[in-house]
Chains A and B, each alone.
Chain A
Amino acid sequence: MFGLTTIASPQGFFIGALCGLVPLGAGLYYRQWRAGVGGFLACLLSGFACGFLGGLPTILMSYAVVLSYAYVNRQDPFTSRAALEEVNFEETRVEQLQRQLANLGRGIRTSWRALTRNRAGFLGFLGIMFFVVVTVFGPLFIEYEGAARLDRRQPGARSLIAPPSYEHPLGLDWKGRDVLSHMVHGGQRLILTSIQAGLIATVIAVVLGSLAALLGGVVDSLISNAANFILTIPSFPLLLVLASLVNLDSDFLLALLFGVLNWPTLMRAVRAQVFSLRERDYVEAAVALDLGVWHIISREVFPNMISYIAVNLIFTIRVAMYSIVGLVFLGLVPLSEPDWGVMIFTGRQQGVLFQPQAAGMLLAPIVAIALFQLSLVLFTRSLEEVFNPRLRSGL
């Protein structure tokens, strides 16, 4: 994530195919054709996109899913109706591992079903996947045009800008470069930086919020007052000022800056949640059973906040993206192409606003950003269902 960008490579294709052999083989062995082939395709795609980095977790997950199908028919001693004396609880390490993997697979399957059940949410998921696929696999097929293409000047034309045509579906920009190539190559950095920024803000908020609620007293008032202080400062103007003072030459620094300024709202919500959750009877039961503070935070309180945190993470990513684009648009961060934000910035600078034939150059990044944002918002609908065991039930 830190400065990491991925571009699919032909080698990745083979890596993915290689990874996919595991679930495929397992599918053949357990006679679970559909799960095996599905696992193969998933491994192929993720290996293609990220090499072994994406391939290995996908192997594990798809293998788990195949096992979960296989385990439906297999007799688990625990779920049998036999009497205690007849049940053999002993199992080898391999069997134990397989059973745990099958449980993981069952979890993945129910999550997937929860994801697809809400139509709006699933649409959002598809939208996000669309942008991921385009920005990861697109560069394989569309070459990036960085240098000016003076050779594309039409005889008698006053600029290089051209409206959409068959060869260039989104037209040419002010340097005569293909807008589509910039769209395909310029999204990944913005999306990754926004995710980083959202993650940083969320982690700070969750840690500080839990600490404030659980420790109380001085810590609580210290954190709450810090939050109130930051909340009173208009964060975007401050970001502007800081961005112009600090040389934001790395994306991570930009994300960090956003994160440090945007945790208070979520922190307050997390604090309130922990306050309410720690009064629950099951937390009291855990105290009586002497399960320990760490257990209470990580296993009793946190799982009940996770859907809330995940939804807020998505919203923070959304806000981060707008902020970053805003900074780029105002030219306060070093501009490096290709980037959706930079496209809007240069477009405005080159007076594209007044040239109808250049609409593609300005509209394409704006529409892409808006659609991505819409996908995020819709996706949160499904996210709630994925993490809520109550909503997951009945499946």
Chain B
Amino acid sequence: MTTPLVELRGVYRTFVKDRQTIPVLQDVNLSVQPNEILCLVGESGCGKTTTGKIIVGLLEASAGEVLIQGKPRSAYRRAEQAQLRRDYQIVHQDPFASLNPAHTIEQILSFPLLRHKLVKSRAELRRRIWELLTMVDLTPPGDIVNKYPHQLSGGQRQRVSIARTLTVQPRLIVADEAVSMVDVSIRIGILKMLHRLRDEFGMAIVFITHDLALAKYFAWRGRIGVMYLGRVVELGPTPHVIGQPAHPYTRALLQAVPEADPDVTRRKQPMRLRSDDIPRLTAIPPGCAFHPRCPFYVGRVCDVHVPHLDVAEGFAQQVACIPVQQGQLRPYIDEQAGG
């Protein structure tokens, strides 16, 4: 097994807001292999973005270990750290906020190229910018270079943002809800482009989304990690997680996904949760955080013991649910998924 690009071991992260400590991440264990697609799914506030930023190195973990290619960041020398920083890039959710309104597209792309001396001459700089814009399907580049971000559409801006990460030839890109603010009709185009870029440059992609349908499409050949209130509750190869979900939360999510075909959606039986309220991060329930809502709740087990990610019998993926791990919950096959 190759050394993972990033490995999170028992990572905790807390934020302090109004003198209140908010545990955003608790005991997160993840690793990303080179050229892998890992999809983090979960509702807003579950810690997906924080995980992404810790992977990129924009945030520090409050506790736990973050190993970059096998070693903690501090074990590298200064020059190596600078290179490592460049190897891990992020594409932000909001394409309207991620590009500086004061610069033209040419300037935005030239800053990293010039700063890190990735081009030798003016001519090479312009050639490289042309290539980058072509790579992200912004053609002809001549129409784009002299424009300001506000003169482009959301989709075009997101492509520029991706092109900007490509300037430094990263080994891992965290796409943080990269298409959620883009018009639905052009989402697939951007996702296909990301797939193509991954195949071309051999980088890993951590795709963060709240949309399980997107995750299923994007990470079919990769893995999915389902997050709930700061913990990873299920982690495994996408076809298994989608086709044979283990954790009750994943099952609930899957059954809530609307299908494009209205007949299929109507036939779906949404799982009855015991409660629709999502607990606040300041008052996370004891034991399994999902137990107040879980239909398979087992008294004195789920509300007392914190489940840890582990392989359960009958499943190919890891799951953090004690009843499932003890074999009390049979695999559930969703006939709509798996296709």
Contacts and interface: CB of A to CB of B under 8 A. Distances in A.
B204 to A, nearest CB: 15
B94 A290 contact: no
Given A84-B130, A287-B58, A290-B86, A300 B115 contact: no
Nearest to A87: B130
A3 interface: no
B86 A90 contact: no
Given A78-B130, A80-B142, A89 B123 contact: yes
A299 B101 contact: no
Contacts of A303: 100, 102-103
Contact of B58 (A78, A79, A288): A288
B123 A90 contact: yes
A390 interface: yes
Interface string A292-303: 100100011001
Interface residues of A, number: 32
A365 to B, nearest CB: 41
A393 B150 CA distance: 9
B115 A295 contact: yes
B92 A289 contact: no
A393 B151 CA distance: 8
Contact of B92 (A89, A285, A295): A285
B111 A299 contact: yes
Interface string B86-99: 10111010100111
Contacts of A77: 126
B112 interface: yes
A78 B115 contact: no
Given A79-B146, A84-B134, A304-B102, A290 B85 contact: yes
A291 B111 contact: yes
A285 B101 contact: no
A304 B115 contact: no
A281 B94 contact: yes
B140 interface: yes
B60 interface: no
Most buried by B among A81, A87, A289, A292: A289
Interface string B108-124: 00011001100000111
A29 to B, nearest CB: 25
Interface in A83-99: 84, 87, 89-91, 96
Nearest to A106: B146
B167 A289 contact: yes
B124 A89 contact: yes
Contact of A89 (B100, B115, B126, B143): B126
A390 B124 CA distance: 30
B250 to A, nearest CB: 30
A284 interface: yes
Contacts of A292: 115
Nearest to A99: B122
Interface in B142-186: 142-143, 145-146, 148, 150-151, 161, 164-165, 167-168
B51 to A, nearest CB: 15
B126 A288 contact: no
Contact of A389 (B88, B92, B102): B102
Contacts of B82: 290
Nearest to A88: B123
Contact of A96 (B122, B146, B167): B122
A81 B112 CA distance: 25
A304 B99 CA distance: 12
A282 interface: yes
B127 interface: yes
A168 interface: no
Interface string A217-261: 000000000000000000000000000000000000000000000
A280 interface: yes
Contacts of A76: 142
B151 A285 contact: no
Given A81-B140, A84-B131, A284-B92, A300 B100 contact: yes
B203 interface: no
Interface of B: 56-58, 82, 85-86, 88-90, 92, 94, 97-103, 106, 111-112, 115-116, 122-124, 126-127, 130-131, 134, 140-143, 145-146, 148, 150-151, 161, 164-165, 167-168
9 contacts: A80-B140, A87-B130, A90-B123, A285-B90, A285-B164, A288-B90, A289-B168, A291-B112, A390-B150
Interface of A: 76-81, 84, 87, 89-91, 96, 280-282, 284-292, 295, 299-300, 303-304, 389-390, 393
Given A285-B161, A285-B164, A289-B112, 11 more contacts: A78-B130, A79-B143, A84-B131, A90-B123, A281-B97, A284-B90, A285-B98, A288-B57, A290-B85, A290-B116, A389-B150
